[in-house]
Structure 1
């Protein structure tokens, strides 16, 4: 199995492990402290930390994907989506990138026809 793992695949696996350990650490902390997960979301606590780690890890993995995919498809200014996510939100820039990616894929397909 390992002979088929590229450095990018290994990077994604490492990010996945960080996401698993980071989120479950705070979930376990909430359980040990006998906190109500939903109340913690409103009043702060381990649940908020768990969701923060969750979203941060997704943003890191998504940013790696954006950079690699933009390079593969020869999309100009792919890095701008990553920078833009720090200024706006990853929830905005990632779908925006996916839309522009689809546009580029369609453009390339039409050029080959």
Structure 2
């Protein structure tokens, strides 16, 4: 059996874990403090709004990439990463997708060399 966890896949996976922990730490704080999460994003000044728009555009572009790339290389359930980002964070699901994509590509290469 070949090893599908390449160093690049591990880096993406570590980034996914950091994204999940980092975002959910602040999500839990916001929930406990009963903060208006959406209101804070859009009304805490131009700098926060700028970052919010920046991240939103990146998340949308990344979501399109996930769906298109998953279909292109034959990964099943690519859309699930986009849906999961609404429940967790795009900072988690995008690097997770990249890790699973890397594993998929490595497994495909290994199968090609065996055949």
Structure 1 vs Structure 2 CA RMSD: 1.5
**Equivalent residue for 1:92?**
92
Higher relative contact order (CA 8 A, sep 6+): 2
Where 1:111 maps in the other structure, the secondary structure is helix
5+ long unaligned stretches in structure 1: 1-40
Q: Between Structure 1 and Structure 2, how many residues are aligned?
A: 72
Could you report, residue by residue, the CA deviation over 1:72-106 in whole angstroms, capped at 9, with x for unpaired residues? 11101000000000110000000000000000000
Q: Distance in 2 between matches of 1:44 and 1:112?
A: 53
SS, match of residue 74 in structure 2: coil
How many angstroms apart in 2 are the aligned matches of 1:95 and 1:51?
19
* Distance in 1 of aligned mates of 2:91 and 2:99: 13
The structure whose Rg is larger is 1
TM-score, normalised relative to structure 2: 0.60
CA–CA distance in structure 1, aligned partners of residues 107 and 70 of structure 2: 14
Match of 1:106 in 2: 106
Moved over 4 A (4+): none
C-alpha deviation, 1:68, in angstroms: 0.6
Structure 2: segments with no counterpart, 5+ residues: 1-40
